[in-house]
Structure 1
Amino acid sequence: MRIENTGIDDMVVDLKPLDHLTGKNAFIRAGQWDYERVTYDYKIGSKEKNITYYIRIQGYALEGDVDSGNAVIKLLTPLLGKHYYPHGIEYGEEENFPSDIVERANTLLTKVASDLVPYKKD
């Protein structure tokens, strides 16, 4: 599910403050990157059996590369996904997401966007 109108869509920011501020808001990049792309995930546990939710922020390098740490990243529309153990994560619009999870995703993403505003590039 796409989470739109959070302020993150199409934001351009340097990788270093992006890494710092997403980490400060409990989003994890870990090994989810290559030279041109980054992915940050926020894990939300669930009372549902074998279900975990993930909020995902993705972006790609407009300049530089992620490996060197000097990239300028353009962020994409964040996603809300549902992980079905052991099959994987589904991000489709046909998935049903509890309203409290959607609300939490919007709140967290709006907070990240707000934190990134001072570092936003034109």
Structure 2
Amino acid sequence: MKILDTGLDGLLIDLKPLDKGLENANFVRASQWDYERVTYDYKIGSPEKNITYYIRLQGHAVEGDVDKGDAVIKLLTPVVGKHYYPHGIEYGEQEEFPPNLINRAKSALQTVKANIEPFTK
């Protein structure tokens, strides 16, 4: 499910302050990148058995190279997904998400925006 109206979609930012700003908001990039794309995840536990939610923020390089650390990243619309063990994460609009989860996602994304906004282009 897309999280709209966050102010993040389309922002341009250098990779290093983006990494730092998302790390400070508890998002993890880990090995989720290639030369042209980055993906950050924020994990949210659930009282439901074998269900975990994720807030995902992705971006792609419009200049430079992610591997070299000199990329300028354009952010995409954040999404919320539901992980079904052992099958994987579903991000589709047909998924249902509790209202408190959506509020938590919006709050986390507001923190991200506050962390990175001073560094956007």
Structure 1 gaps, min length 5: none
Structure 2 distance, partners of 1:49, 1:105, is: 20
When normalised by structure 2's length, the TM-score is 0.99
Structure 2 gaps, min length 5: none
2:88: which partner in 1? 88
The percent identity for this pair of structures is 64
Q: CA deviation at 1:53?
A: 0.1
Q: CA-to-partner distance for each residue in 1:51-87, whole Å, 9 max, x for gaps?
A: 0000000000000010000000000000000000000
Q: CA-to-partner distance for each residue in 1:7-55, whole Å, 9 max, x for gaps?
A: 1110100000000010011000000000000000000000000000000
User: Could you say what the CA RMSD is over the residues aligned between the two structures, in angstroms?
Assistant: 0.5
Structure 2 distance, partners of 1:25, 1:17, is: 12
SS of the residue 2:109 aligns to = helix
Q: After TM superposition, where is structure 1 displaced by more than 6 Å over at least 4 residues in a row?
A: none
